[in-house]
Structure 1
Amino acid sequence: MRLFLRPFVLALLLCSSLTARAEEAVRVFAAASLTSALTDIAAQWKQGGHTAPTLAFAASSALAKQIEAGAPADMFASADRNWMDYLQQRGRIEASTRIDLLGNTLVLIAPKGRRFRAEMRRGFDFARAFDGKLCTGEPGVVPVGIYARQSLEALGWWEAIRPRIVGTDDVRTALNFVERGECAAGIVYATDAAISDKVEIMSTFPEDAHEPIVYPVALVGNARPAAREFLRYLHTSREAAATFERHGFTRLTSAP
């Protein structure tokens, strides 16, 4: 009887171990613009013998609100400092783990083959440079839309173009609208524009026209132990650094 039970008991122990391991999957809430890079890094993490993290991508604003409401997240990666500040002020992240990890640039795009002249300077009549809508994230809410509005105001273009702006839930949605030609122009991150063969980058907005584009990451309060390891990997791994750079992000911290 004991010999008969031993394989069964071993199987139960193995299943229990695998279940426990699966329960340790790190739950990452990340800005939509990080989709491609973090998906690749998650695959690297899994290849290293770890449980694949669970990734949820959306606008930083939406994710921050979900975390505030108690959504089960271990880590938050925002596309701007404001939404990380929002959670920190409410005691929802571990402030000691917060790192300004990445940088990005803001670009003006158009559907492929439908370029128009755009000069990044005050005095240029941007609103008359093209017909149709301008897509970006919802101004005042979604980070890319916040940066876009800052840039348009700095260049003196905001008031004239405001009635034609289509504010979207996140940067990837804005990119998709331009890809389909539903918007004649778009303001997105350079990293998102680079993944599409259906849009053209026409120009880069001056860095001094908007706040620095910074991606802070931090652990959410009561994060699982595995989350600390994954955050350390994002911060210190040469493989993760190379992946972020391959996707066009600027590393604000250096891997050793």
Structure 2
Amino acid sequence: MRILLFLMLILAPLQARAKTLTVFAAASLTNAMQDISALWVKAGHPAPRMSFDSSSTLARQIQEGAPVNVFASADEKWMNYLAKDKMIVPDTRHDLLGNDLVLIVPANHPVHVNIGPDFDLLALLGPNGRLSTGDPAHVPAGIYAEQALRKLGLWDKVSPRIAAAPDVRSALLLVERGEAPAGIVYSTDAAISKAVAIAGVFPDSSHDPITYPFAVVKAGDTPQAHAFLTFLSSPAARAIWVKRGFKVE
């Protein structure tokens, strides 16, 4: 009897963990996903476990065996990274959202610029200022930023001044704190902060379409995961996506 009780005490937390829905989502989705999670709980479901970080970091953690049910990436690259290794359920993958890429500055020094090939970004940065954005080597926001700057012919001049952040929210924070005079983030990130202002919007033609693919992770393929993924496209969830400034596909 004691052995049985001991086993029950050991297995109970594991069983509870197995039933907990775990969602890995790009950092830019933080506020909206938290809002939608609250709706999910209000509808009678257990609160999901949420983890927010750069899509690259999360994808690598999934590849290394992190117990995840649903993955939401800020670009196609990192969802493809998992799909190549057959780590997602293919028919659950769909592009749910879109976004805009914007140039931000501290709110106490607002400026408005037309972003194009003739835009003098170095003048905006000043003699020693750096441009904050996600690390172009792996963070989606930084990858889009590099594409845009290259397309506009600005990359060679600006690349030595890049302050590469581990995710888009960290890039936002550098501008909020005044540690960088300008940054490149998504419009939805700029919208959550009163400490920054949008100086300009990068033309859609200057970078790949900003898309957010969602999918169920094969190792965490459960009815609950499918239900949550469906819920993310429900009218109630769509209203939150729109309120937070995302483009709903």
Report the TM-score, using the length of structure 1 for normalisation.
0.88
Q: For each residue in 1:6-47, what CA deviation from the matched residue of structure 2 results, as whole angstroms up to 9, or x when unmatched?
A: xxxxxx9xxx8x996764221000000000000010000000
Residue 227 (str. 1) matches residue 222 (str. 2): no
Larger radius of gyration: 1
Aligned residue pair count: 236
Question: Does structure 2 retain, via aligned residues, the 8 Å contact 1:108–1:205?
Answer: yes
Q: Which runs of 5+ in 2 are unaligned?
A: 1-7
Q: Paired residue for 2:193?
A: 196
Matched, 1:251 2:245: no
Gap runs ≥5 in structure 1: 1-11
Which residue matches 1:128? 123
1:51 pairs with 2:51: no
- 1:139 aligns with one of 131, 136, 140: 136
Q: CA deviation at 1:96?
A: 1.1
In structure 1, what is the Cα distance between the partners aligned to 2:155 and 2:58? 27
Code of the aligned partner of 1:89: K
Would you say 1:240 and 2:237 are equivalent positions?
yes
Amino acid at match of 1:159: D
The question of whether the paired residues in 2 share the 8 Å contact of 1:118 and 1:129 is answered with: no
Q: Contact 1:26–1:224 at 8 Å: present in 2 too? A: no
Answer yes or no: is the 8 Å Cα contact 1:24–1:224 preserved in 2.
no
Q: Which amino acid aligns with 2:199?
A: M
1:19 and 1:59 map into 2 onto residues whose CA distance is: 28
**RMSD of aligned alpha carbons:** 1.7
Report what 1:101 is aligned to: 96
Change (3 A) 1:117 1:161: farther
| Residue 75 (structure 1) aligned with residue 86 (structure 2) | no
In 2: Cα distance, 1:40 partner to 1:123 partner? 40
Match of 1:4 in 2: none
Q: Normalising by structure 2, what TM-score? A: 0.91
Between 1:216-225 and 1:187-196, the stretch displaced more is 216-225
Task: Name the structure 1 match of 2:151.
Answer: 154
Identity of aligned residues (%): 47
Q: Partner residue of 1:37?
A: 32
